[in-house]
Chains A and B, each alone.
Chain A
Amino acid sequence: MEWNCWKMLKGINMSFLLEFKGLICCSEMGPSSSGKTQVCLRTASNVARNHMVLYLDTGNSFSPQRIAYFLGKTISPSSAQAKNQFLQKVMSNISCHSVFDIFAMFDVLHQLESYLRCQDGRGGFQMRLLIVDSISSLISPVLGSSSTLGRALMTSAGYLLKKLAHQHNLAVLIINHTVGGEGGSSKPALGDSWKCIPHSRLFLSCDRGSNTYNVSILRHPSMASGKAARFVI
């Protein structure tokens, strides 16, 4: 899947047009309350119209009311029952699971792998999007202690996600945080070992006091890095 980034650069509302061109494992990062979860919820509500979505939540940040709000904005005002039916049809395509440690996430990913293997044969609604919000809160408790197990778990998690994206035509969206770097600037958490794992990386930030968000590309296989855009959710 490729983000239609021209839409972003024009600065209009974030309505993603997801085109099935390839497989991208995309990682988003930003400081606290820069809109990362809102972007994920918005994406999930758009993709869920036609495909299935799995949302792995580590911090109880999944809000079904927000998804209902996004969906309600897009359909024309009709009878309450028709709206209800539409909401039920679309929201049943989104599955949310809470994981609170890295071993639980591995369990979930392996169950997902066996599900996707059966799914590839048949038609109907297919799962196309996996959102992990956020991977840094799962990995930070194990990283940095005296053993190297933490880094091994992080790299294997990254490669498992890439394998899922590649083998089953899945788009994977990962949320990361930022930590303070040298000189007061912020740099992404999880360090340099994580840098090479996602195919593309986006940096989100929020203007203080206003509702607009900035997104800039740090790494992308086919577009130049450094491009930035502003948007309002």
Chain B
Amino acid sequence: MEIWRLPISASQRGKLISAGYTSLSSLSSISSSDLARELNVSESEAMNILKVASHSRGSETSNASCSIVEGAQSAWDMLHDEESLMHITTSSADLDNILGGGIHCKEVTEIGGVPGIGKTQLGIQIAVNVQIPNDFGGLGGKAIYIDTEGSFMVERAFQIAEACIEDMSEYNRFLRKDFQECKIKMQPQDILENIFYFRICSYTEQIALINYLDKFLSEHKDVKVIVVDSVTFHFRQDFDDMALRTRVLSGMALKLMNLAKRFSLAVVLLNQVTTKHTEASFQLALALV
């Protein structure tokens, strides 16, 4: 029975099996309107089922050429890719040293701390620093800022953007003093324009947004960082089913890792800490780890 392998909803699967379609080959010769009539579903759903089935069937019969599976990379290629990946600087030399050059692309970085230590400021700084143009050693990309707590302040972001531009023009003056001084054309307003801001008020909105980001990123290919301020904020209170909470959070983490890998961007998660009571002592630990 191969139908259970298809990524379709449980009700569609149940209808397929009760109508007698148990293997992928039985779906090969039917048209979408006939299938819609037999299963009592809409035609677009039937077309979706047929598309998914033909995709899985096609991947079975294709011959593997140089790579074993589609999309696999050899370790040698990955080593060279890693060496050429750029980092996002955090504007602090010590922090960059610990992170190995800065925030890495294609990776998810989690930053946790006690309230008031500066996590949101670091998040805003990263959202500004990703826009440093390539000439100055940055990525020249846009940023997505997902705010769950409401702690993003536009005035502060404006100050940070101004300071960043001042930094760049000083660097420019220092390094290119022999050449004609070229002015920095960026203004703080441009930097703020390149930050896409989402405000989340509940956990359902958070889950919906993570699912929507796939489509958003295919349209805006120059986004290079996603900053999620307090990824666990909405999950800490008023959640009845603990097992569901763990499942949802781990599913969300996997989706973010998938986005980071596919679109070559960096994901920065800011998290709170709690005190854990282990071995008769109190330790700080990241929330919901």
Contact = CB atoms under 8 A, between A and B. Distances in A.
B72 A97 contact: yes
Interface string B63-90: 1100111111111101100100000000
Interface residues of A, number: 46
Contacts of A108: 69
B56 A107 contact: yes
Interface stretch (B122-130, B159-167, B220-228, B249-257): B249-257
A164 interface: no
Contacts of A153: 4
A153 B10 CA distance: 13
A68 interface: yes
B172 to A, nearest CB: 34
B75 A111 contact: no
Contacts of B261: 60, 98, 100
Contacts of A100: 254-255, 257-258, 261
Contacts of A147: 10
Interface in A118-134: 118, 127
A186 interface: no
A89 B182 CA distance: 47
A91 B74 contact: yes
A194 interface: no
Interface stretch (A51-59, A209-217, A225-233): A51-59
Nearest to A150: B247
A92 B68 CA distance: 12
A95 interface: yes
Contacts of B59: 107, 110-111
Contact of A96 (B73, B106, B246, B255): B73
Interface string A45-71: 000100010110011101011011000
B269 interface: no
Given A88-B76, A92-B74, A94-B74, A60 B68 contact: no
A149 interface: yes
Interface of B is mostly: helix
Contacts of A106: 5
Given A103-B5, A137-B254, A152-B4, A97 B71 contact: yes
B64 A127 contact: no
Nearest to A95: B72
Interface residues of B, number: 40
B60 interface: yes
A59 B261 CA distance: 10
A144 interface: yes
A156 B250 CA distance: 22
Contacts of B258: 98, 100
A106 B75 CA distance: 22
Interface string B15-57: 0000000000000000000000000000000000000000010
Nearest to B259: A100
A115 B68 contact: yes
Nearest to A108: B69
A5 interface: no
A76 interface: no
Nearest to A94: B75
Contact of B76 (A87, A103, A112): A87
A92 B75 contact: yes
Given A60-B261, A141-B247, A144-B247, A115 B64 contact: yes
Interface string B227-255: 00000000000000001101100110011
B7 interface: yes
Interface of A: 48, 52, 54-55, 58-60, 62, 64-65, 67-68, 87-88, 91-98, 100-101, 103, 106-108, 110-112, 114-115, 118, 127, 137, 140-141, 143-145, 147, 149, 152-153, 156
Rank and list the top 3 A-B pairs by shortest CB-CB distance, nearest first.
A64-B79, A91-B76, A94-B75
16 contacts: A54-B68, A58-B254, A60-B107, A60-B108, A60-B260, A64-B75, A64-B79, A95-B73, A96-B73, A97-B72, A103-B6, A103-B7, A115-B64, A143-B247, A147-B10, A149-B4
Given A110-B56, A137-B254, 13 more contacts: A64-B78, A64-B82, A67-B75, A92-B75, A94-B74, A95-B68, A95-B69, A96-B73, A101-B254, A107-B59, A111-B60, A144-B247, A147-B10
